[in-house]
């Protein structure tokens, strides 16, 4: 399926705009108020938005309708949006990724030489608190929480496949132990 995406910026109030449905056949989803159903999707973040649809005609139609209600700046086809990069393929498909963000995380956590692994965590692996391990210091707690939080940004953006592992690890952010940290760096 061919997908067309256009990025823009608006200068009027739009977030949760009650009059948005008046300018086009659009309905808001119950959750979140930043996603609207049309022929495709409009995603709104503060004063930026993406329109995605099956063809460029539908995008142009939506854009013209929105321009009747709002002042817009068309920024063209996106290369990235909110830290997510778009790769447009010759067959019309679109790939999304957060390669730059992942590279930054690897650098921040001094893991540039790590090797990829088949899965984020063995689902049968049980994590718990071990009373015999020393409590972590504040720096260790902060580093662990930062790692888990940073990886959660990937779950929300492009990597829902690591949600289980991060959900499991997030239970230990107040008292991470060495065997918890091994999981987020890819060990067993």
Q: What digits encode the pLDDT tens for the residues 48-103?
A: 888 887 778 888 888 888 888 788 888 888 898 888 999 988 887 888 899 999 99
Question: What predicted TM-score, i.e. pTM, was given to this entire model?
Answer: 0.67
The whole-number pLDDT of residue 97 equals 93
pLDDT (tens digit, 0 to 9) for every residue of the chain, 188 residues total? 344 455 555 444 444 555 544 444 445 455 555 555 555 777 777 778 888 877 788 888 888 888 887 888 888 888 988 889 999 888 878 888 999 999 999 899 888 888 777 766 777 777 878 888 888 889 988 988 999 999 999 998 888 888 888 888 888 888 888 777 766 555 43
What residue spans define the domains of the chain?
3-97, 113-184
Q: Which residue has the tokens 């010759």?
A: 90
Three-state DSSP class for residue 157? helix
With a CB cutoff of 8 Å and minimum separation 6, the contacts of 187 are none
Question: So what's the pLDDT on residue 85?
Answer: 93
Helix (H) or strand (E) holding 161: none
Please check whether residue 10 is in contact with residue 55, taking contact to mean a CB–CB distance below 8 angstroms: no
- Computed over every residue of the chain, the mean pLDDT equals 76
pLDDT for the residue 35: 56
CA distances, 65 to each of 68, 91, 168 (Å): 5, 29, 45
Report how far residue 113's alpha carbon sits from residue 119's, in angstroms, rounded to the nearest whole number.
18
Tokens of 184: 């987020």
Among candidates 54, 69, 65, which has minimal Cα distance to 18? 69
Q: What's the token pair of residue 26?
A: 């659009």
């Amino acid at each position: 399926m061919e997908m067309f995406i256009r990025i823009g910026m608006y200068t009027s109030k739009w977030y949760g705009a009650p009059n948005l449905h008046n300018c086009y056949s659009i309905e808001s989803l119950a959750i979140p108020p930043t996603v609207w159903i049309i022929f495709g999707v409009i995603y709104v973040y503060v004063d930026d938005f993406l329109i995605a649809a099956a063809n460029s005609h539908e995008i142009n139609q939506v854009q013209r309708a929105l321009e009747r209600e709002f002042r817009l700046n068309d920024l063209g086809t996106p290369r990235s949006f909110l830290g997510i990069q778009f790769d447009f393929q010759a067959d019309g498909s679109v790939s999304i990724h957060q390669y730059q963000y992942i590279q930054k995380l690897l650098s921040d956590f001094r893991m540039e030489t790590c090797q990829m692994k088949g899965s984020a965590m063995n689902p049968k692996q049980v994590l718990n608190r071990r009373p015999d391990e020393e409590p972590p210091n504040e720096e260790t707690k902060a580093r662990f929480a930062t790692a888990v939080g940073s990886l959660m940004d990937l779950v929300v953006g492009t990597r829902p496949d690591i949600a289980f592992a991060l959900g499991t690890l997030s239970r230990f952010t107040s008292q991470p132990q060495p065997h918890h940290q091994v999981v987020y760096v890819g060990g067993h």
